[in-house]
Amino acid sequence: MTISVIGRGTMLYSTRQTAKKLGIDLRSLNRYIAGNKVPAPPLTRVGGVKVRLWANRDIAKVRKLLPKIENGRKTRYQKQKKQNKDTR
């Protein structure tokens, strides 16, 4: 479901749609938001439900940050591999 703001012509997307546009899983995006790794738009009340409405500029900001976010598991194993290599 795409939501359009009347009068401005700005397309707004749900968090699920945003994750799909970014090519990542919804759970990953929610973890990044919870960990303050990506800026998220404020919560907006729509029909009694709080949702985040993402504009294209918000998605573009996150797209720039994604390559800089370290994957915890990948980073941990890279550090272990480096430590093992250094001790040899």
Q: What angle do CA 11, 14, 38 make, to 5 degrees?
A: 100
pTM score:
0.71
**Which CATH code of 2.30.29, 2.40.50, 1.10.287, 1.10.1660 fits the domain covering 3-87?**
1.10.1660
**Residues of the chain with pLDDT > 70: what percent?**
82
pLDDT digits (tens, 9 = 90+) for 55-64: 999 999 999 9
Mean pLDDT score, 37-51: 93
CA distance 33 to 2: 21
Q: Where are the domains of the chain?
A: 3-87
